[in-house]
Amino acid sequence: MCVKVWCKMENEKMIQEVLEELQKDDINTELIQDNKLPFIYDDNFYRCVMPSQKVNSDAKRFKNKVRIQLIKDGDSLTVKQLKKLLLEKQNINIDKMNQDAKKLEDKMTQVYLTLSAKKDSEKKSIDKLIKELDQIRDERLEIILEVADHLAPSVESQVQDEYYSFLTAMCTEKLINEEKDVWCNVWKSFNDYEIDKSKLSYIAIGKMNQLMYGV
């Protein structure tokens, strides 16, 4: 097996493992308490915390710096430019894909409403609806991930990725003394986070996104 193929397989394997780890308590808002989202990785306790005003200001300045640099370099396209190029060159219609994802989201809402009206005794019907919901969710997620992959090179996507990476680096903590409830930052600096290629960095940024959107 060539090195390139092996690396691709290893990368896909890591992505799958990270997704499985995130799905253990995916969007469980009950876990979010006092603006903190705890999680376990490799038998250690971690948590992502909401950024302080200072960290948020630092992250926004960093975000603007990245945007300016990308514009100066001139190698990246905006979302609007990239969508136009994808449609013209590869017949990939991002707007249509987003519309399809929205339709599936509306469909999920309808299934949720139907589920909420079911009685506990209607087990077969409930199981069928849950299965349908899972299928719709998976189909929607596939579209969302495909859109994100197509738009990843855009200025906006790169800037947003760097923004959340910065927040994750500054706001992820590890429990070092359970009895005294003492936590410390996982990464001493953003540079330490950037060079960390472990699954923890990927899981942490997923949790940070859940915290930011879930509260």
Q: What is the pLDDT of residue 23?
A: 52
* Per-residue pLDDT tens listing for the chain (215 residues): 333 333 333 444 544 555 555 555 544 445 556 789 999 999 999 999 999 999 999 999 999 999 999 999 988 999 999 999 999 999 999 999 999 999 999 999 999 999 989 888 888 999 999 999 999 999 999 999 899 999 999 999 999 999 999 999 999 999 999 899 999 999 999 999 999 988 999 999 999 988 887 64
Q: What angle do CA 135, 39, 203 make, to 5 degrees?
A: 65
DSSP letter, residue 186: S
Which three-class secondary structure string do you get for 41-73? ECCEEEEEECCCHHHHHHHHHHHHHHHHHHHHH
Residue 33, CA distances (Å) to 28, 36, 152 in order: 11, 5, 32
Q: What is the pLDDT of residue 26?
A: 46
Distance between CA atoms of residues 103 and 110, nearest Å: 11
Distance between CA atoms of residues 103 and 121, nearest Å: 30
Domain ranges of the chain: 1-76+154-215, 77-152
Q: What is the pLDDT of residue 17?
A: 54
Q: What is the pLDDT of residue 16?
A: 54
Q: What is the pLDDT of residue 2?
A: 36
Distance between CA atoms of residues 48 and 35, nearest Å: 9
Q: What is the pLDDT of residue 27?
A: 43
Instruction: Decide: pTM greater than 0.85.
Output: no
Q: What is the pLDDT of residue 10?
A: 42
